[in-house]
Amino acid sequence: MLMLNHRQVLTMLQAGSAQIIDTLPLHEYRTVHIRGAIHLPLPRLWREARKVLSADRPSVVYCRDSL
């Protein structure tokens, strides 16, 4: 696991080199999230990740503690 700062994540998102996954509950996601982030709350993350995410691109996962 690699720890990135907010600027690094935004750079990767803008370049299209990574997929950003937001694990916040829906009501928090609607209030604040990184634009372009894929919403996969923690209860769904492991169950749906393979269906939703690309295995060809790195994934950056964040939650409220990292905003």
What CATH number was assigned to the domain covering residues 11-66? 3.40.250.10
Give the chain as a 3 state SS string.
CCCCCHHHHHHHHHHCCCEEEECCCHHHHHHCCCCCCEECCHHHHHHHHHHHCCCCCCEEEECHHHC
What are the residue ranges spanned by the domains of the chain? 11-66
Q: What local confidence, expressed as pLDDT, does residue 2 receive?
A: 73
**pLDDT-derived band of residue 1, with 50, 70 and 90 as boundaries?**
low
Answer whether residue 8 shows pLDDT above 90.
Answer: no
Q: What local confidence, expressed as pLDDT, does residue 7 receive?
A: 86
Query: Which pTM does this prediction carry?
Result: 0.75
Q: What local confidence, expressed as pLDDT, does residue 65 receive?
A: 58
